Structures are given as C-alpha cells and as structure tokens.
Amino acid sequence: MLQIVFRELKLCYGFVRRDLGTGLLPVPVFTLASLLYRNASKEEMVPAIANAFLYGFLYLYTFVVSNQITGVQEDRVNKPDRPIASGAESVSAAQIRYWTLTALYLAHGYTLGVGEWALLWVITTIAHNPLGFSNLGPTKDLCMGLGCIAQLKAAWGIGGSPPAMGWEWIKVITLYMLWPIPLQDLRDVPGDLAVGRRTTPILLGDMPARIYIAAGIIVSQFLLIKYRILEYRYDRSTIALSVALVLMTIGCIFRLFAFRSLTSDRFSYWLYTVIYVFQPLSACITLR
C-alpha cells in the first residue's frame, strides 16, 4: 500500500512540478486578495484558502496531464523526464487519470460557485491540447490568456468579493499572460520544430520574438504599477512593491537579449513566472 501511495505521489510530482508557480500559486494568492478586499474574518479565510489550494491544484493537474498526453513526441526531445515520455505512465492510464481529475475539478468548482470558470478551463484545455490549438502561436497564446481569466476569476469568486474590482486587476494580469507568454516557447524551439509546431518564436524569428515579448512585459507592468497599484494605494508598501516589479522586469528583459541560449531562456521563463505570481500578491498588498 505504501509503495502505491509513494508511486502516485512521485507521478503527481512528475506531472506538475514544472508548472506549480503559474498553475497553482496564483489561485490561493488571488483568493486572499479577494478576502482582504472585503475585510473577511480570519474564520472565513482558512477554509477559503484551503479550497483555493485544492482548486488550483486540480486546475493545474488536469491541464498538465492532458498536455503531456498530446505532447509525448515533443517531451521526448525537450522534457524526457516527464512521466509519459519516460515510460513511467502509459498514455491509456494517463487518459483515465485526466478524465477522473476533470470530473473532480468540475465538481469542486461547482460546489465553490465558480463552475462556469472551471468549465471554461476544461474547454480551453481541450482546445489547446487534443484539438491542436497549441500547434500555432496565436491560438496557443490565446488559450493561455483565456486560462488566466478562468484561473483568476475563479480565485476571486472563491474569495467572495464583488467581481468588478477583481476584473480590473484580471484584465491587466491577463495582458501579461497573453502577450509575452511566447517566452515559454523560446526554450522549446527544438522540440516544437521536431513535431511541426509553429509557435510565436518560430513564426516571428528569434530576435523579433524577443522584442515582441519584451514589449509585452513592459506595457503590462507599466499598466499594473501605474493604474492598479499606485493609483489605488500610494504608500511605502506599494512603492516598495513597484520597485520590486520594476527590477524583476528589467532583469527579465535584460536576460532575454544578453543570454540567448536554451538554458538561459529556461531561467528567463522562470523569472517571468515569478513576476506572474507576484501580480496577485500585488493585489493582496494593494487591496488590503
């Protein structure tokens, strides 16, 4: 029994470990922002955050399993340690895992009152993976933008605040996910070429893609800092927060152009995901 549990935990970690930052963490963090905005009691916060963690985990887990079912050939080039690519999990077993997780995810979203956003994510996942929207840059990037909306709208709803303020933040954060998201594809160009994908970096070429990504990071962070953070609250905490975001933005853009290799692009994408998680955290600090 212990061996079965250990194997399951190992497989689970193998599926989700690369995407915990963008897939899981923003949900409980943005839920906390919603709770703080409406001055929720501590007694309300504990179960809400726990439910948000479970929702975020299922949000991530359903997607990565589906993604890895349809991306075995690419993973054998770019990420051969993943469960299916490495042979630790068969495709048929992974399909059973996906549909089981999807049913749990939809049920949990329904009980939390965010069923429509859970459904949007399931539809987006199907479009991105089995329907092949991920094979073309513009449609792949659009799916990531829709996924951001589904993720953060659900998180805000779990926190129980009126949707208007949440949507003001989500629009700007979604721009960051929609526009510069091709940064994740810079590190996967060899595998994408091997399977015939035409991601944004392949369509634009390396240097134009880096300029496009940098522009998206700059515009989205300018809008976030000026019109969401400092316009709502101007004090030491938000000034320090804004400085931190500016420094991370500069660091990410500098790396994009100064270190152009697959290894460096992996680290640049990691920094990009840190900035993404920092944006719901910014809402917590600003809306408290």
Query: Given this model, what pLDDT does residue 273 score?
Result: 96
pLDDT tens digits, residue range 171-212? 999 999 999 999 999 988 888 888 888 999 999 999 999 999
CA-CA distance, 229 to 238, in Å (whole number)?
7
Strand, coil or helix: what is 153? Answer: helix
Query: Given this model, what pLDDT does residue 190 score?
Result: 83
pLDDT tens digits, residue range 39-49? 999 999 999 99
Per-domain boundaries in the chain: 2-287
Q: Using alpha carbons, list the distances in angstroms from residue 16 to 56, 65, 66, 101.
A: 11, 8, 11, 13
Residue 60: φ, ψ to 5° = -70, -50
* Residue pair 189/181 in contact by the 8 Å Cβ criterion: no
Query: Given this model, what pLDDT does residue 196 score?
Result: 87
Partner residues linked to 198 by β-bridges: 136
Q: Which position has the higher pLDDT, 262 or 229?
A: 229
- Predicted TM-score (pTM) of the model is 0.95
pLDDT tens digits, residue range 240-250? 999 999 999 99
